Amino acid sequence: MRERIGSSKFGQWVSEHSFLRFVVTRFLLIIPTLFILVSVVFFIMRLTGDPITATMGGKLPQTQIDKLIHDAGYDRPIFVQYFEYLGQLFSGDLGKSVKLNMPVTELILTYGTATVELAVLALIVAFAVGIPLGKLAAKYRDKWQDVTVRLFSIFCYAMPVFFLGLLLKLIFTVQLGLLPSSGRVSSNLQSQLSNVDFPTGFYVIDSLQTGDPEVIGDVFAHAILPAVALGLLTAATFIRLIRTNLISTLSTDYIFAARTRGVSEKRILNKHAFKPALIPIITVMGMQIALMLAGAVLTETTFEWKGLGYQLSELLKARDFMAVQGIVIFIAIVVSVANFIVDVLAAYIDPRVRYGK
Amino acid sequence: MSRLGNLPIIKHIRQSVGLQCFMLITGLAIVVLFVLTAIFAPLIAPYGFSQIKDASGVSFGAQKEPSAEHIWGTTVGGLDVFSRVIWGAQTALISILVAVIASSILGILLGLVSGYFGGKVDRVLVVIADAIYSFPSLLLAILLAIMINSTGGNAFAGILAAGISITVVFVPQYFRVIRSEVLRIKSEAFVESAKAIHAPITRILFKHVLRNSTRTLPIVITMNAAEAILTLAALGFLGMGIEPSSASEWGYDLNRAVSDVTSNILWTSIFPGAAIVLVVIGVTLLGEGLNDLSDPRLRIRRKPKAFDGTLPDDGEVKHD
């Protein structure tokens, strides 16, 4: 394969640039991945039943249901429907929400920003908690600090985000009365946010635009609990990864060499050993983004954070399954692209990845 | 590690050998407790999981504080919290068993065949497994739950549906683990020699290859079981899980408890939530312990004897 590409001039150029070749091959891999996910979602939804029976089953007489099924074309051969569906997707049509009476693409544009904002804030929490604790555990390996941190990370992992969310609400809202229990901003300040010059939908950015400390404070107060609830789940993974990687890096020869040169332990931990220990974090980021999107559904539902995840659970309640399917497909696209970016970053940083497989 | 630092550390290492023991033993104890609770739920729980009236036909009443009759209080729907939590263990155990057994059998078989024979089927299966693996498992489970639930069914079908929803998501994990092990093992001499004497292919696959590929399986199974409980609870929390009348499920109970929290009612959420956390912690501790022991970099070895301050003859100080 390599020789064949290498025979043309362009091929020669590409084969000399292993990184570029990696990017191109990895990009092309998105297509089968997406195709598989779309097919899996489609066949799960269709082979086990049709959306109309799932939504209306028991609510309408069977004859009416049959008519609806026929009108929507769900009684045609499954492969005809499948290719029709693929065609729709290809033209950017993710279906329509019956409950909200808008196309899924519009729904995603309206509510997606809230989810992205929550995910970014949660990621900040995850790094802020995960990195120092992971370092601490590796530094004091097998001592009480390490034991405490490890048990904490197991605890974070074992705690369902919605239960953690409920506990945080119970403590900080009901008992202490410090933070608001739900929503993204107090209703009386909502209008100020939409009146800024460049409304982005990201309330943190919009609130900074208003320059009003009351609005900024209110937006951040609303964001703290959801971000912590979602962030701690990811933090648990970061702690474990950083700890394990730091420990194995700390026992390598070059660290030993640094020690013999008299480099301080602090510098060894923070510079020499820490940087290579970060690479595995990047490689799991794709996985973490996927987990976070699933976590966002639960967190948003717990805190009534009106993002895509909250809408998804509302649509589930309303049995609007075509819209659910559209959102799930969209998330599949996000995850595939995120994984692509993560893999490219990893290959850029660590040349070994390019030659793997 | 300096010479001076060596002495007190030994004490810590002793403790941490203890820690790994502690993790394993605690994990095991929690899991055993969980399984026993699930099996003996009918004997332990004072009331049925959907019972809202006592024997004389008097309603329990909604959101009653913990008392002698209802040691953990009652829910907004007038159910006994303690009984719901106990019965919930049964639901969780069945779902875990269904999910773990089904996904491991399917995943192991696929991984074994795919890894051993390779070729186009292998390549296609790998891409499919990777695609599903990268996808948020909860969302896939939601889709499956929608469709399986819409076909209706009895109590057991509900639990089965939750189990199957989780199964599909986990198949790729077993597939990946077993496949990579098989790739490593199939070129070993003992497999070559089995081939040379024309051993039947099923014998080679199951006796020679599979038996030697199960090294990491216990860890995957514990991880899997933990995720199964969390997924089941998440499905229940989103209202896509098991109907409350057909079985007791912790995630559903938490869903109903959301509004209780804002009116400062603790007991309806704390107990089912704590049950989830406890079981997941138990299973995870067990898995962590196994993981540490199987990974030589993380395994803690007990020092043979205390360092007495003198260097060995070769002048080498042992580093951990």
Region for residue B119 given its phi and psi (left: phi exceeds 0; alpha: psi -120 to 50; beta: otherwise): left
Sign, CA dihedral B169-A126-B282-B269, equals: negative
Are A142 and B13 a contacting pair at CB < 8 A? yes
With tokens 């013999």, the residue in question is: A260
Are B266 and A170 a contacting pair at CB < 8 A? yes
- Total domain count, chain B: 1
Q: Which residue of B has its CA nearest to A335?
A: B135
Is the pLDDT assigned to residue A180 strictly greater than 70? Answer: yes
Is the pLDDT assigned to residue A248 strictly greater than 50? Answer: yes
How does the average pLDDT of chain A come out, rounded? 81
pLDDT, average across residues B30-47: 84
Q: Tell me whether residue B223 is in a domain.
A: yes
Are B139 and A160 a contacting pair at CB < 8 A? no
The radius of gyration of chain B's CA atoms, rounded to the nearest angstrom, is 25
Which pLDDT value is given to residue A34? 85
pLDDT tens-place string over residues B72-92 = 777 767 677 788 888 888 888
pLDDT tens-place string over residues B289-311 = 777 665 555 555 555 555 555 55
Q: Tell me whether residue B317 is in a domain.
A: no
Q: How confident is the model at residue A27 (pLDDT cuts 50, 70, 90)?
A: confident
Is the pLDDT assigned to residue A8 strictly greater than 70? Answer: no
| C-alpha to C-alpha distance for A168 and A228, rounded to whole angstroms | 9
Structure tokens, B98: 């269904």
Going through A76-231 in order, the beta strands assigned E by DSSP cover 96-97, 102-103
Are A173 and B262 a contacting pair at CB < 8 A? yes
Structural domain span for residue B132: 70-294
| C-alpha to C-alpha distance for B231 and B236, rounded to whole angstroms | 8
| C-alpha to C-alpha distance for A127 and A119, rounded to whole angstroms | 12
Q: Tell me whether residue B314 is in a domain.
A: no
Is the pLDDT assigned to residue A7 strictly greater than 70? Answer: no
Is the pLDDT assigned to residue A177 strictly greater than 70? Answer: yes
Which pLDDT value is given to residue A227? 92
Q: What CATH number corresponds to the domain at position B211?
A: 1.10.3720.10
Contact A266, A204 (CB under 8 A): no
Interface test with B, best of A55, A59, A142 (most B CBs within 10 A): A142
Contact A125, A227 (CB under 8 A): yes
Contact residues, chain A, for B238 at CB < 8 Å: 297-298, 301, 313, 316
Nearest beta carbon to residue A247 from set B258, B276, B297: B297
Q: CA of B122: how far to CAs of A114, B113, B117, B129, in Å?
A: 40, 8, 7, 10
Are A290 and B284 a contacting pair at CB < 8 A? no
How does the average pLDDT of chain B come out, rounded? 76
Nearest beta carbon to residue A160 from set B132, B230, B288: B230
Contact A336, B154 (CB under 8 A): no
Q: How confident is the model at residue B1 (pLDDT cuts 50, 70, 90)?
A: very low
Is the pLDDT assigned to residue B5 strictly greater than 50? Answer: no
Contact residues, chain B, for A301 at CB < 8 Å: 237-238
Is the pLDDT assigned to residue B3 strictly greater than 60? Answer: no
Most confident range (mean pLDDT) of A87-96, B104-113, B232-241 is B104-113
pLDDT, average across residues B149-160: 61
| C-alpha distance from B231 to closest chain A C-alpha (Å) | 9
Which pLDDT value is given to residue B7? 41
Q: How confident is the model at residue A58 (pLDDT cuts 50, 70, 90)?
A: low
A56: enclosing H helix or E strand: helix A51-56
What pairs with residue B74 in β-bridges?
B80
Q: Tell me whether residue B15 is in a domain.
A: no
Q: Tell me whether residue B29 is in a domain.
A: no
Are A45 and B146 a contacting pair at CB < 8 A? yes
ipTM value for the complex: 0.80
Contact residues, chain A, for B132 at CB < 8 Å: 36-37, 40
Contact residues, chain A, for B137 at CB < 8 Å: 294
| C-alpha distance from A350 to closest chain B C-alpha (Å) | 21
Which pLDDT value is given to residue A226? 92
Contact A111, A311 (CB under 8 A): yes
3-state percent helix, strand, coil for chain A, nearest multiple of 5: 80, 0, 20
| C-alpha to C-alpha distance for B102 and A240, rounded to whole angstroms | 29
Are B238 and A301 a contacting pair at CB < 8 A? yes
pLDDT, average across residues A56-82: 76
Q: How many residues does chain B have?
A: 320
Is the pLDDT assigned to residue A134 strictly greater than 70? Answer: yes
What pairs with residue A102 in β-bridges?
A97
Q: CA of B101: how far to CAs of A66, A219, B165, B216, B226, in Å?
A: 38, 47, 13, 16, 14
- Percent of chain A exceeding pLDDT 70 equals 90
pLDDT tens-place string over residues B179-230 = 888 888 888 888 888 888 888 888 888 878 887 777 778 788 888 888 888 8
| C-alpha to C-alpha distance for B86 and B88, rounded to whole angstroms | 5
Most confident range (mean pLDDT) of A188-192, A240-244, B308-312 is A240-244
Q: Tell me whether residue B211 is in a domain.
A: yes
Q: Tell me whether residue B234 is in a domain.
A: yes
- Please state, as a whole number, how many other Cβ atoms lie within 10 Å of the Cβ of residue A34: 18
Residues 6+ apart with CB under 8 A from B138: A294, A297, A298, B231, B234, B235
Map out the domains of chain A with their CATH numbers: 108-321 (1.10.3720.10)
| C-alpha to C-alpha distance for B104 and B173, rounded to whole angstroms | 9
Contact residues, chain A, for B152 at CB < 8 Å: 57
What pairs with residue A97 in β-bridges?
A102
Contact residues, chain B, for A32 at CB < 8 Å: 127, 131
Is the pLDDT assigned to residue A319 strictly greater than 80? Answer: no
Phi, psi of A102 (to 5 degrees): -145, 155
Q: Tell me whether residue B41 is in a domain.
A: no
Interface test with A, best of B237, B294, B317 (most A CBs within 10 A): B237
- Percent of chain B exceeding pLDDT 70 equals 73
Q: How many residues does chain A have?
A: 357
Contact residues, chain B, for A173 at CB < 8 Å: 262
> H-type helices in chain B, by residue range?
3-39, 41-44, 81-117, 119-134, 137-150, 155-185, 189-196, 201-203, 217-237, 250-262, 267-294
Is the pLDDT assigned to residue B37 strictly greater than 80? Answer: yes
